[in-house]
């Protein structure tokens, strides 16, 4: 039994600030009950390639997507435009296999370490963050690995 298990959900992340690696934490379902999904029931999830540490993309998860991701290790987001679960790669084949997941200190953002097959971005680029900018000018920092027409066919 974790000494943190009896706490109300809204006090859990604050209490865990002083937890240490050796402490027994509440189980994942108890932690998910305390996660601070936004008003739309969503949590931002950052995907990082586990070995190169490149940040690939940021997308959103509802609780169902998060539970499915943790259970299957195949990353599943929630598509805000299509309003449904989005199993990354279901159209393009460019899946993400989960290596590890971590919540942040206030329980409102998730970091995923993943093995990304091919490009993460629908433009065919490895990462979605290809628009570099400084205070005056912007530039494209990477080219597509694959023509997006090849990724998505004639959808």
Asked if residue 133 binds its own copies (CB under 8 A), the reply is yes
**For its own copies, which residue of 25, 85, 145, 146 counts as binding (CB under 8 A)?**
25
Using CB under 8 A as the binding rule, whether residue 134 contacts its own copies is answered as yes
Q: Helix, strand or coil for residue 17?
A: coil
Q: Binding of its own copies at residue 23 (CB under 8 A)?
A: yes
Q: Is 76 annotated as a binding residue?
A: no
Q: Which of 6, 69, 71, 21 is nearest to 43 (CA)?
A: 69
- What the block records as the tokens of 113 is 């370490």
Contacts of 85 (CB under 8 A, 6+ apart): 62, 64, 65, 68, 76, 77, 78, 79
Binding site for its own copies (CB under 8 A): 16-21, 23, 25-28, 31, 44, 46, 48, 52-55, 57-58, 67, 70-71, 100-107, 109, 111, 121-123, 125, 128-143, 148
């Amino acid at each position: 039994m974790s000494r943190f298990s009896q706490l109300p959900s809204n006090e859990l992340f604050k209490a865990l600030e002083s937890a240490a690696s050796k402490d027994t934490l509440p189980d994942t379902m108890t932690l998910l009950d305390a996660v601070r999904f936004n008003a739309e029931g969503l949590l931002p999830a950052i995907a990082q390639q586990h070995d190169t540490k490149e940040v690939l993309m940021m997308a959103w998860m509802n609780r169902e997507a998060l539970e499915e991701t943790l259970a299957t290790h195949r990353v599943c987001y929630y598509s805000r435009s299509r309003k449904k679960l989005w199993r990354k790669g279901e159209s393009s084949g460019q899946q993400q296999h989960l290596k590890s997941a971590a919540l942040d200190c206030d329980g409102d953002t998730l970091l995923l370490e993943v093995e990304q097959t091919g490009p993460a971005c629908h433009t065919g680029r490895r990462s979605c963050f290809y628009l570099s900018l400084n205070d005056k000018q912007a530039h494209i920092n990477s080219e597509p690995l694959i023509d997006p027409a090849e990724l998505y066919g004639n959808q």
